[in-house]
Amino acid sequence: MTSRDPIADAAARLLAARPTASMAEVAAAAGVSRATLFRRYPSRSALVIELSRRAVEAYTAAVEEARLEEGPAADALARLLGGLTRLAPGYGLLALQPIDEAVEADLLALAAETDDRVRRMVHRGQESGDLRVDVPAEWVLSSVTWLVVAAADGVRLGRLAAGDVERLLTMTVLDGLRRRGASAGDAAG
Contacts for 44-48: CB closer than 8 Å, 24+ residues apart: 45/99, 45/100, 47/8, 47/11, 47/23, 48/15, 48/94, 48/97, 48/98, 48/99
Task: Please state the domain extents for the chain.
Answer: 52-177
pTM: 0.84
Residue 117: the pLDDT is 96
With 90 as the cut, is the pLDDT of residue 184 above it?
Answer: no
pLDDT digits (tens, 9 = 90+) for 35-91: 999 999 999 999 999 999 998 999 999 999 999 999 999 999 999 999 999 888 777
Residue 189: the pLDDT is 41
Sequence-distant (≥ 6) Cβ neighbours of residue 64 within 8 angstroms: none
pLDDT digits (tens, 9 = 90+) for 5-21: 899 999 998 988 888 89
Looking at domain 52-177, its CATH class is mainly alpha
